[in-house]
Amino acid sequence: MQLIDYIVFGIYFLVVAGYGWSIYQRKKQKEASSNDYFLAEGSLTWWAIGASLIASNISAEQFIGMSGNGFNMGLGISTYEWMAAATLLVVGIFFMPTYLRNKIFTMPQFLNMRYNSTVSTIMAIFWLFLYVFVNLTAILYLGALAVSTISGLDFTMCMLFLAAFAIIITLGGMEVIGYTDVIQVFFLIIGGLATTYMAVTLVSEQFGTSGLMTGVSLLQEKAGDHFHMIFKKDGNHAHYMALPGLGVLIGGMWIANLNYWGCNQYITQRALGADLKTAREGILFAAFLKILMPIIVVVPGIAAYVLHQKGMFQQEMLKDGVLNQDNAYPVLLNLLPAGLKGLSFAALTAAIVASLAGKANSISTIFTLDIYKKFFGKDTSEAQLVYIGRATVVVAMLIAIVASPFMGIDKKGGFQFIQEMTGLVSPGLFAAFFMGFFWKKTNSEGALFAIVGGFLMSLWMYKYMPEVPFLDKMGYVFLICVSVMVALGLWKPSDKGLEVNSEDFKITGNFAIGTGVILTMIAILYYTFW
């Protein structure tokens, strides 16, 4: 990086940190409220909610991991983004009204209200371990890998810098995170599109032509096998194992996405402090942005593949003498001209820091409200709860820094690592939420079986059924959990249903129109790239 790159990055850093600090100072007098700190209750607009959802979701596992999957398997990995757009609509229509009507602020609170404290406590512990040892570690590891590759700085120093930057933002609470995320998303999209433009035009130049559209045509010509959304069982075995054919449309992909977007403190927390109209508009905005994401994080990986086949990056793509797909995006960033490299570096850092801050805030919320307050400090003041929350952020980040090099994140690609590890918990957890929402007879015994038994079944299948795609395994575990929950519910019906009003599920106005537009766009994309 040259001087102009550091200047551009410095502007990004000062804008985000300065804006966050100004919000923190403005809210300082109200900070004694734990709901204000953890949820920014009533403070986030629809565009802040939507931007924060995306900023918290898009991180190093997308820029580095998903781009690496683009290099390896192509556009098919975009199914996580485009199916997420459809999933967000389901969450906005069905999940969010139920959460808001029942005044649910954390996911363990839902489990406690619908089942009992044992179920909610077990799940809170599961979430804390998952967020710290899978999500935080992967984001830090992949982020530091990218930043170190681009800047030439020491890997550990990069990890410490990213963690410190995220802590600064997180200490201001959910409102600071939400509004700084708007700036983060601006840099993320502008810088990401700049990298994509450079990568695609570089492809056209390498084949003796010029122009963006020419580059797009060359990508499809030179890497035609990288533009399929549905992989066949008799095709590339590794690709099918990751994305098993129609399973991405009618199987386990729905479980992965509905669990992530609808039952995930890290995500739903952004909308839980708003009214239904604002929450839905924010979710709709996020869904539109998800449609755009593959252009930013997958297409560069495909471009890197074509350039690598042309003879470029032969050494740069290696790690310990072996081709490493996760090097694709950092390698491209190093080709950017001065100034633009700083902008793209800022975009990558924005994605990493926003995701770290969001994840740390959710860890803090669950530990403080669902563990500490419940078992150790029932009479703790609001100000003390905020202090505990801030301390939790720092401790969680330190644990993740120490643990990340030992998690095997680099073995199969960062994005796949997160999906498979999360998939051990997702089927049973989503079964507990799904049945809790839609069948009043579902009891706490069934929920406990789904959460604990589902996890144990997933572990068993992970070890003894290696030839079954993990998305299919998620589907099998989910169906078993639901079947057992139905049997237990018929045996001992529960009467702890949630308050539900069918009128809440009706959609009108801009949300209804936007829903139709997004579903049409998804159908066209799958039809075009089937």
- The residue-averaged pLDDT of 459-466 equals 90
For the cut 90, the answer to whether the pLDDT of residue 457 exceeds it is: yes
Quote the percentage of the chain above a pLDDT of 70.
Answer: 91
Structure tokens at 478: 């989910």
Q: Is residue 458 part of a domain?
A: no
Please state the domain count of the chain. Answer: 1
Q: Is residue 158 part of a domain?
A: yes
- Residue that the structure tokens 């959609």 belong to: 507
For the cut 90, the answer to whether the pLDDT of residue 47 exceeds it is: no
Predicted confidence at residue 262, as pLDDT, reads: 87
Q: What is the DSSP letter of 208?
A: T
Q: To which H or E segment does residue 495 belong?
A: none
- The residue-averaged pLDDT of 359-386 equals 80
Q: Is residue 107 part of a domain?
A: no
For the cut 90, the answer to whether the pLDDT of residue 334 exceeds it is: no
Q: Is residue 137 part of a domain?
A: yes
Predicted confidence at residue 30, as pLDDT, reads: 54
pLDDT digits (tens, 9 = 90+) for 148-157: 877 778 888 9
pLDDT band at 180 (very low <50, low <70, confident <90, very high): low
Question: Poorest-confidence range of 167-176, 250-259, 461-470?
Answer: 167-176
pLDDT digits (tens, 9 = 90+) for 80-106: 999 999 999 999 998 888 888 888 877
Q: CA geometry: angle at 193 spanning 187 and 195, to 5°?
A: 100
Predicted confidence at residue 348, as pLDDT, reads: 76
Q: Is residue 522 part of a domain?
A: no
The pTM assigned to this predicted structure is 0.81
- Compute the mean pLDDT over every residue in the chain, rounded to the nearest whole number: 83
- Residue that the structure tokens 């100072």 belong to: 25
pLDDT band at 22 (very low <50, low <70, confident <90, very high): confident
The residue range of the domain holding 79 is 3-23+47-100+124-245+266-409
Range picked from 26-40, 239-253, 288-302, 363-377 for highest mean pLDDT? 288-302
Q: Is residue 373 part of a domain?
A: yes
Q: How far apart are CA 36 and CA 313, in angstroms?
A: 49
Q: Is residue 455 part of a domain?
A: no
Q: How far apart are CA 393 and CA 327, in angstroms?
A: 30
pLDDT band at 488 (very low <50, low <70, confident <90, very high): very high
3-state secondary structure 342-361: HHHHHHHHHHHHHHHHHHHH
Predicted confidence at residue 120, as pLDDT, reads: 86
pLDDT digits (tens, 9 = 90+) for 189-214: 887 888 899 899 999 998 888 888 99
Q: How far apart are CA 403 and CA 423, in angstroms?
A: 20
Q: How far apart are CA 52 and CA 165, in angstroms?
A: 17
Q: Is residue 427 part of a domain?
A: no
Predicted confidence at residue 365, as pLDDT, reads: 82
Q: How far apart are CA 317 and CA 23, in angstroms?
A: 42
Q: Higher-confidence residue: 443 or 168?
A: 443
Residue 376 sits in a domain of what CATH number? 1.20.1730.10
Predicted confidence at residue 369, as pLDDT, reads: 80
- Let me know how long the chain is: 530
The candidate with the shortest Cα–Cα distance to 370, out of 347, 353, 392, is 392
